[in-house]
């Protein structure tokens, strides 16, 4: 099993480390415009592999992605404080097009995972440029947003996030939405769960406040440390693991819906996207989802790809 990562900044290097920790591959190739950076990270990770599964870790050029099962794209301009993900669209479209052309040339049978923001628009660019089947081009979408939502609900309720089934869907950005109508804790609708809370000191769970915290998490982290990297690296490694191990696991990646890439529940297996999971949305949620979809479409039109 071979994974190549294109772009070895904070996100790329953190993703590589997460993959090494999960012992997922026999070979890991790191590619960056700054060859010295890629070589340094490869050497550092190679030393770390002494404590994990034996892995060949090396820096390379585009030719070295040949034979990759999965290619992860993290290259692109980083989001700056006060800048939205969609502000990055014109900066990063050209970068993703060039990378995708090389993927098509050297690794035509690979599955592509795109992290580069705005992730929905850039995943669409990668899909159109490679010409791959849409199930083989996947954006990280709202996987991290969903994880953040479950983590915060779990913290407030004093239970494991693994027992929470709640989704963030839509654009990975300001127009995303929480699907409260189908959110459950241990199989119980979340509103019912809170009503039956046994604690004398109830948490007074404010769902919309939690959602706002989730939606603004990236801005807060970027303001404090300059970038988000560990959360998205963990999300990407989990997505890659689901592909490699053919897990049939449900995530909310950026997938093709109505000719636009957008965060939505989907089953992940060895072929990438096995199928989309059509969850029920109430009228308000459906309206918000359509708004989010249209925002992404507007930016795709600006690229004119």
Q: How far is CA 96 from CA 2, 136, 169, 235, in A?
A: 21, 16, 23, 21
Give 226's DSSP letter.
Answer: S
Residues 71 and 64: their CA atoms lie apart, in Å, by 11
Cβ proximity of 20 and 45 under 8 Å: yes
Ordered by start, the domain boundaries in the chain are 2-139, 142-302
Measure the CA–CA gap between 299 and 120, rounded to whole angstroms.
10
How far is residue 149 from each of residues 79, 184, 201, 275, 282, measured CA to CA in Å? 22, 12, 22, 23, 19
Q: Binding site: which residues? A: 7-12, 32, 62, 76-77, 79, 85, 92, 115-120, 140, 145-148, 150, 165, 228
Residue stretches of the annotated binding site for beta-D-fructose 1,6-bisphosphate: 150, 165
The active-site residue, picked from 172, 215, 288, 293, is 172
172 catalytic? Reply is yes
Same fold, 2-139 and 142-302: no
- The CATH code for residues 2-139 is 3.40.50.720
Q: What is the pTM of this model?
A: 0.92
Cis upstream peptide for 20 (omega within 30°): no
**Burial class (CB within 10 angstroms; exposed 0-12, middle 13-18, buried 19+) of 247:** middle
pLDDT in tens, the chain (305 residues): 999 999 999 999 999 999 999 999 999 999 999 999 999 999 999 998 888 888 999 999 999 999 999 999 999 876 667 766 567 788 899 999 999 999 999 999 999 999 999 999 999 999 999 999 999 999 999 999 999 999 999 888 888 999 999 999 999 988 999 999 999 998 888 878 877 666 555 555 678 888 888 888 888 888 898 888 999 999 999 999 999 999 999 999 999 999 999 999 999 999 999 999 999 999 999 999 999 999 999 999 888 77
Strand-pair partners of 137: 112
Report the binding-site residues for NAD(+). Answer: 7-12, 32, 62, 76-77, 92, 115-117, 140
Annotated binding-site residues for substrate read 79, 85, 117-120, 145-148, 228
Q: What is the distance, to the nearest Å, from the Cα of residue 172 to the centroid of all Cα atoms in its chain?
A: 9
DSSP letter at 88? Answer: G
CATH 3.40.50.170 fits domain 142-302: no
CA angle, residues 14, 49, 222, in degrees to nearest 5: 10
User: Among 85, 142, 147, which residue's Cα sits nearest to residue 289?
Assistant: 142
What whole-number distance in Å separates Cα of residue 258 and Cα of residue 272? Answer: 18
């Amino acid at each position: 099993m071979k994974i190549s990562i294109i772009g070895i900044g904070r996100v790329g290097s953190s993703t590589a480390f997460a993959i090494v920790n999960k012992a997922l591959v026999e070979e890991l190739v790191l590619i960056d415009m700054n060859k010295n950076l890629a070589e340094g990270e490869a050497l550092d990770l190679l030393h770390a592999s002494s404590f994990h599964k034996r892995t060949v870790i090396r820096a390379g050029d585009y030719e070295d992605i040949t034979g990759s099962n999965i290619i992860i794209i993290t290259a692109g301009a980083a989001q700056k404080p006060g800048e939205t993900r969609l502000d990055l669209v014109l900066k990063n479209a050209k970068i993703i097009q060039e990378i995708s052309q090389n993927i098509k040339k050297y690794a035509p049978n690979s599955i592509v995972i795109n992290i580069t923001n705005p992730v929905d628009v850039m995943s669409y660019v990668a899909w159109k440029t490679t010409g791959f089947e849409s199930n083989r081009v996947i954006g990280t979408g709202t996987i991290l947003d969903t994880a953040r939502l479950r983590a915060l609900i779990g913290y407030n309720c004093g239970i494991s996030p693994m027992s929470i089934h709640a989704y963030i869907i839509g654009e990975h950005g300001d127009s995303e939405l929480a699907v409260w109508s189908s959110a459950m804790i241990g199989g119980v609708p979340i509103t019912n769960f809170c009503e039956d809370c046994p604690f004398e000191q109830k948490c007074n769970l404010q769902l919309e406040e939690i959602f706002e915290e989730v939606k603004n998490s990236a801005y807060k982290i970027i303001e404090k440390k300059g970038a988000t990297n560990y959360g998205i690296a963990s999300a990407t490694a989990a997505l890659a693991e689901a592909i490699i191990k053919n897990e049939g696991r449900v995530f909310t990646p950026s997938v093709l819906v109505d000719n636009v890439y957008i965060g939505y529940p989907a089953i992940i297996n060895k072929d990438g996207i096995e199928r989309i999971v059509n969850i029920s949305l109430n009228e308000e949620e459906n309206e918000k989802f359509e708004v989010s979809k249209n925002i992404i479409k507007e930016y795709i039109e600006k690229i004119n790809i």
